[in-house]
Structure 1
């Protein structure tokens, strides 16, 4: 497809407005659609080459996400709500975090992807960001477990990200409270919440069967005892009021698909960016921590480095919060972190269930949400695709056993 076919009128209009704001009067556009597994968006990369009134040549690289248009899919995935949440995050929350770091004169900044523009027009929602691949950032394949070096960098950066919320609450409480009141959970409530519940109901008997057939008696009993209340536990865990006074702005879908990395000359990860803030919510820091530890690490890495990674997170969190002018021991003591890991890591276990499902399916066999009529239909499509997969069952077994061994709540 050529550029004219790829860029519809709304995207073109948004780009034209951006270029006018930058006084770019002569330009050419080149676009390509990214063919990747994306459940709620179509991704398009656009390169703009142009000149301003002075003849200065400028080149802009846009990463454009546009919402799926299928009515049923939009409804059971709450796509409108997801785009509204991401747009609010980029337009209001992230600028507050950037201003906070500037006000505190932070040298080693926590950096965000540059935001250009967005639209909340019904069925034509879009977000335009800087295309970080042009700056050397890359994704990790979703089907590969994260190694030690990546995991350490992720925990360091995540600690800094969460420190921003504690510092904002400490120094600008009214701003923090405004954000608090505007980002209630959408993943386990409303239409998307119903879809999440249906996913759990579809798969949970299989998880119980995997534990039973493997003679993992303790895990089997704990899963069986929790089947009636687990979803309610998830709903409670993601309410900001539940985790006060330790609630932060969490990413909400913190796994490897939403992280970009840049590498040094020895291929070691040196920088990271977080993207896709579509389920951002106020919750415990443990929400993001547990999603990464249970959803992105294999059993070997998790068993060998779990405590070390938690400690690295808190070390980075504490150091950055002190740089921001606040006291980590007073605002979020380490023993509170440990307590919340026990109480709220169920959020990470749930995401691990989903990630293991998605990553067990070859790209060419991935069910398409747009072919589903409702949340129940979509859950069954994924279930039928993985229910006989040995790798799926093995990975589910490992993550459940690790979780139970840690003594965390269900």
Structure 2
């Protein structure tokens, strides 16, 4: 298969050109460059496309887009369920977020949930799967250092946006139940719960052994025994927690992939990045119909440290629920009937195990230096993903410390695992 360059295939390049023509940009040139660093995206090749040309009036203009296209390595495509995840992300942009936007307009919502990049075009052509989106960095959004936990202000901002996003599923169930049913059926969890994901689970199991070996079975007996018990049944436990129960009235369409890499923040003052004024949520490839706690636990335990959780975890969950409740009321719903606070707490206890599971590997990547992380888009048939990810990190002590803190929190909070 021919490629136009190292970033996108000829087919995807034609999709980009068609988009540029639709936007009535004339006499244009396209310059492609890398759109992300290693370790920031594992299910897509990210390219930045800079378009220089003229508008319909002959005025010079510059536009840029982000293109997420599928890895072409056959082995990785199989392990990473590439066709599935691109199909899911395209469905979220074209159908779910579109319908959520229409509902908010119908209800005259003053401050709608729009914390995601604008979708322009996509391809599901085999080996050429791709999504073309606006480049929100043009509007001042920037990445956060993934090795540094988020502070209170960043955490609060994300949780409030998740509250609004989650409320939309409940509002859709109230106002357009058949549409919500259709979207739920089309967003059933089909990544971690499938047999095809066995190699991915092997990576997590392998990493969990590292975690257990770092816990002192004598001095840290409770942590050791609880985590060992979890490890023995880890994959089955997580699969069970992720089953998309279509009859559950408290399940929603989740974001699904909630580590720091998938948030871009905007600030009033680019020199002072303490308090964001906006967030953009990226990567909807493993979005699924499930518990709100899937998103919250994944986000809280990968992206914050124990000090913040010790001081603010309870109040942050209150803030999430307040944002959820206020937004659902604005959409015409009743949070006390549709998702009571007590039920929300029960979900945190039962379904947060997904967050613990995701920290095992995500946190290892987040604490590693860029040069340590292997390029998983080019594994060979004889080099399983678990072998690729069996690398040593000079920051392993920081990883072990944060993992112990997370296990301690699960014990302290009384969460099931």
TM-score normalised to structure 1 length: 0.93
Matched, 1:378 2:390: no
Aligned partners of 1:238, 1:121: CA distance in 2, in Å? 29
Matched, 1:149 2:150: no
Partner of 1:364: 371
Aligned partners of 1:375, 1:288: CA distance in 2, in Å? 34
Aligned partners of 2:21, 2:394: CA distance in 1, in Å? 53
User: Bigger CA drift: 389-398 or 315-324?
Assistant: 389-398
Distance change >3 Å, CA 186–CA 352, structure 1 → 2: same
Partner of 1:325: 332
- Are the equivalent residues in 2 in contact too, given 1:110–1:157 (CA < 8 A)? yes
Partner of 2:108: 105
Aligned partners of 1:225, 1:387: CA distance in 2, in Å? 28
- Are the equivalent residues in 2 in contact too, given 1:162–1:317 (CA < 8 A)? yes
Matched residue SS, 2:51: strand
Deviations 1:269-290 (A, max 9, x none): 0101111101000000000000
Partner of 2:397: 390
Q: CA deviation at 1:108?
A: 0.5
Distance change >3 Å, CA 5–CA 151, structure 1 → 2: closer
Aligned partners of 1:158, 1:318: CA distance in 2, in Å? 12
Partner of 2:407: 400
Aligned partners of 1:121, 1:135: CA distance in 2, in Å? 31
Which structure 2 segments of 5+ residues have no match? none
Q: CA deviation at 1:79?
A: 1.2
Partner of 1:312: 319
Deviations 1:197-234 (A, max 9, x none): 21232123333333334622222222222333221121
User: Bigger CA drift: 40-49 or 294-303?
Assistant: 40-49
How many residues are paired up?
A: 408
Aligned partners of 1:397, 1:243: CA distance in 2, in Å? 36
Instruction: Identify the match of residue 95 of structure 2 among 83, 87, 92.
Output: 92
Matched residue SS, 1:272: strand
Instruction: Identify the match of residue 302 of structure 1 among 296, 303, 309.
Output: 309
Matched residue SS, 2:249: coil
After TM superposition, the structure 1 = structure 2 runs for residues 9-408 of structure 1, keeping only pairs within 5 Å, are 9-37=10-38, 38-55=41-58, 57-111=60-114, 112-190=116-194, 193-213=197-217, 215-241=219-245, 244-265=248-269, 267=273, 268-373=275-380, 377-386=384-393, 389-408=396-415
Which structure 1 segments of 5+ residues have no match? none
- Give the CA RMSD over aligned residues: 2.2
Q: CA deviation at 1:19?
A: 2.4
Distance change >3 Å, CA 7–CA 232, structure 1 → 2: closer
Deviations 1:285-320 (A, max 9, x none): 000000111111011111111001101100101111
TM-score normalised to structure 2 length: 0.92
- Are the equivalent residues in 2 in contact too, given 1:357–1:382 (CA < 8 A)? no
- Are the equivalent residues in 1 in contact too, given 2:47–2:67 (CA < 8 A)? yes
Deviations 1:326-375 (A, max 9, x none): 11111111110111100010001111111221023211111222453469
Aligned partners of 1:297, 1:90: CA distance in 2, in Å? 28
Aligned partners of 1:123, 1:295: CA distance in 2, in Å? 32
Aligned partners of 2:111, 2:396: CA distance in 1, in Å? 45
Matched residue SS, 2:214: helix
User: Bigger CA drift: 300-309 or 386-395?
Assistant: 386-395
- Are the equivalent residues in 1 in contact too, given 2:73–2:379 (CA < 8 A)? no
- Are the equivalent residues in 1 in contact too, given 2:143–2:265 (CA < 8 A)? yes
Aligned partners of 1:18, 1:48: CA distance in 2, in Å? 11
- Are the equivalent residues in 1 in contact too, given 2:217–2:224 (CA < 8 A)? no
Aligned partners of 2:14, 2:391: CA distance in 1, in Å? 42
User: Bigger CA drift: 11-20 or 274-283?
Assistant: 11-20
Q: CA deviation at 1:107?
A: 1.2
